[in-house]
């Protein structure tokens, strides 16, 4: 199955590059002069980027292309896949380089989606600033659930816990809509 590098890695790399340029311009940092200094700097930067990507992978898991998402949903048509996205019943995010990908964490492994997720998506997606906000919401550790995430609760929680997650989604969607429409956050 195909995995796609998250746009977060690109943003992280851009931030590092800009910070280095600014520190060099301010005289706080010098450009490595020798081959050894350049190798050390390159190794440090590579390790930092790899660590950032590992953290993102730990949080979001893998991503499917349209093709692998269709296969995960028992080979549905392209039109059916697009319809699920348009009807807020399937989460698709766009990477910084314009690729449309589907977080693997939403698929149940039996040809469907995690039970209860479609309802959550229908509540959150219309209210969210973008699809990444919803993905962060699904993967954020929740204090009320001892650090478990919403997607974990949907997969492994009790019926009462799943109802609570749905209620939290409705509450958060209301707040997001209020903020987007100029209301005050409570």
55 plus 69 within the same structural domain: no
Q: Which of 4, 11, 12 is nearest to 104 (CA)?
A: 4
Q: Among 38-42, 113-117, 132-136, 143-147, name the one with the lowest average pLDDT.
A: 38-42
The stretch 64-79 carries a mean pLDDT of 95
pLDDT at residue 5 is higher than 60: no
User: Domain for residue 172, yes or no?
Assistant: yes
Contact in structure between 123 and 170 (CB atoms under 8 Å): yes
35 plus 72 within the same structural domain: no
- The total of structural domains in the chain comes to 2
78 plus 50 within the same structural domain: no
132 plus 73 within the same structural domain: yes
The stretch 113-136 carries a mean pLDDT of 96
User: Domain for residue 186, yes or no?
Assistant: no
The stretch 47-69 carries a mean pLDDT of 74
31 plus 70 within the same structural domain: no
User: Domain for residue 134, yes or no?
Assistant: yes
pTM recorded for the entire structure: 0.70
pLDDT at residue 183 is higher than 50: yes
Average pLDDT score, the chain: 84
91 plus 171 within the same structural domain: yes
Residue 82 lies in domain: 63-180
pLDDT at residue 67 is higher than 90: yes
For the record, the structure tokens of 43 come out as 């190794």
51 plus 125 within the same structural domain: no
71 plus 24 within the same structural domain: no
Q: Which of 102, 92, 97 is nearest to 64 (CA)?
A: 102
The stretch 28-39 carries a mean pLDDT of 74
Beta strands 93-94 and 63-64 are unpaired
56 plus 68 within the same structural domain: no
């Amino acid at each position: 199955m195909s995995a796609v590098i998250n746009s977060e890695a690109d943003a992280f790399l851009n931030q590092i590059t800009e910070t280095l340029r600014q520190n060099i311009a301010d005289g706080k940092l010098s450009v490595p002069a020798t081959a050894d200094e350049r190798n050390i700097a390159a190794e440090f930067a590579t390790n930092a980027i790899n660590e950032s990507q590992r953290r993102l992978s730990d949080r979001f898991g893998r991503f499917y292309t349209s093709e692998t998402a269709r296969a995960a949903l028992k080979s549905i048509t392209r039109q059916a896949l697009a319809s699920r996205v348009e009807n807020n019943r399937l989460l698709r995010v766009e990477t910084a380089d314009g690729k449309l990908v589907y977080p693997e964490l939403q698929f149940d492994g039996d040809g469907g989606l995690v039970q209860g997720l479609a309802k959550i998506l229908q509540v959150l997606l219309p209210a969210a600033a973008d699809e990444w906000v919803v993905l962060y919401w699904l993967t954020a550790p929740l204090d009320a659930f001892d650090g478990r995430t919403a997607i974990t609760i949907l997969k492994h929680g009790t019926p009462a816990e799943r109802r609570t997650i749905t209620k939290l989604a409705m509450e958060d969607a209301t707040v997001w809509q209020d903020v987007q429409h100029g209301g005050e956050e409570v």
